[in-house]
Amino acid sequence: MISQEIIDFIRKDIDNRNEELFKIQNDIWNHPEVNYKEYFAHDTLTGYMEKQKGWKVTKHAYGLETAFVCEFSRNPELNPAVISFNSEFDALPGIGHSCGHNLIAISGVTAATSVANAMQKFGLSGTVKLLGTPAEEFGGGKVKMVKAGAWDSIDVSIMVHPMNRKSYSYCTSNAHSINKVEFFGKTAHAAAAPWEGINALDALVITYNAMSVLRQQLKPGDIMQCNFSDAGESANIITGYSAGTFIVRASTRGRVNKLKSCLLNCVKAGSIATGCDYKIEEQTSYDELISNEIMCELYRTYMNSVFDIGIPPLDKNNILNFGASTDQGNVSYVVPAIHGIFPVDSDVSPHNPKFAESTKTKKSHKSALEAAMGMAFTGLEVMGDDKLLANIKEAWKHDLEAKKSDA
């Protein structure tokens, strides 16, 4: 473990900045912004990072207007290890920060800056990066950043997420694929000459019904969802164009790929039955989260020893699969990653207006800063121990190999 002197320094450093950090996350809470429009959050967070000693700040990074990367490096020739933290900051339409991304934003900033401050204070070598990752809520910001190479030079990725439950160090999620399905038919008068039309609404309904019948044969944990976004203009016109969004969700991306093939067959059924042409376009795809057990155990150890959180040892009863999906899963396929859970002052789950209210409180802020310290301690230990880092990477490769048989 890192020394008690470093732990005490980080706790004092964060405590000294507490009010400023609270103001930043509350400012973000008061300016909720949806996918790829998080301009206030982007400018607020990068503005703070530009004031920190020794940081290189790159705004509008990786081809995304609201992504950013901040880097602090000290003697990388002596220690090439690169650790990273994530800050999410997008809100949900209509209900603001009801997933607590204002807290995720400040936890990432806090962890990264406290690590850098400790490196300067104690003469530690290595590199720490803070990645500003927009559009987690179905926008796939990290998916685009992965493709742009954001984690190519990074060894590990560490982040946390607020929930209305106790702390967890080990967390999993479902994979999913979001697909836009369109049918192209031919309009006609529905009473005078319906035989002249080709009904695109019928094609969409057949697709939905085929998918619904298929659900009986799905495995536990498989989910297929749909909504109709365009179902025609008038009841007395044969619908010439229709569209819907179809989501397939499962425990692994291998299984999601199987479900996507099933969905395609349902779409083809609608097309063949009606004579419509079709188009299916995947809008985004999130992989399941692969949590690195070694880093999870480090995080658990620090949270328990420093804050007496009481996270139990890792076993099947202490793994949280929160059912939803996160683009941190895509990151976990390219570098070892963790996605810890910390509690907030709420009795309802995320994506609820009442949860949004809970994320701006002092109590929730304190919980986020404690999680940030756990991330910082974990990151510093990984950065300072090349044998530990090698073991983490080896375990991650083993996890990836095991995923090849999941479908």
Q: What are phi and psi of 191, to 5 degrees?
A: -110, -45
pLDDT confidence of 282, banded at 50, 70, 90?
A: very high
**Token output for 229:** 């976004």
Q: What are the pLDDT digits (tens) for 120-170?
A: 999 999 999 999 999 999 899 999 999 999 999 999 999 999 999 889 999
Q: What pLDDT digit, counting tens, does each position of 216-240 carry? A: 999 999 999 999 999 999 999 999 9
Residue range 4-173+288-403 forms a domain whose CATH class is: alpha beta
Looking only at the bridges linking them, the beta strands covering 188-189 and 277-286 are unpaired
pLDDT at 316: 63
Strands 156-163 vs 337-343: parallel, antiparallel or unpaired: parallel
Dist CA 233 CA 30 (whole Å): 39
Q: Picking from 89-103, 185-199, 307-321, 350-364, which range would have the lowest pLDDT averaged per residue?
A: 307-321
Pairing of strands 241-250, 175-184: antiparallel
Distance CA 128, CA 351 (A): 31
pLDDT band at residue 116, thresholds of 50, 70 and 90?
Answer: very high
Q: Which of 200, 205, 208, 213 is nearest to 225 (CA)?
A: 208
pLDDT exceeds cutoff 90 at 324: no
Position 318 pLDDT exceeds 80:
no
* CATH class of the region 175-286: alpha beta
Q: Where are the domains of the chain?
A: 4-173+288-403, 175-286
pLDDT at 74: 98
Q: Please indicate whether the domains covering 4-173+288-403 and 175-286 agree at the CATH topology level.
A: no
pLDDT at 407: 61
Q: CA torsion 200→204→209→212, rounded to 10°?
A: 170
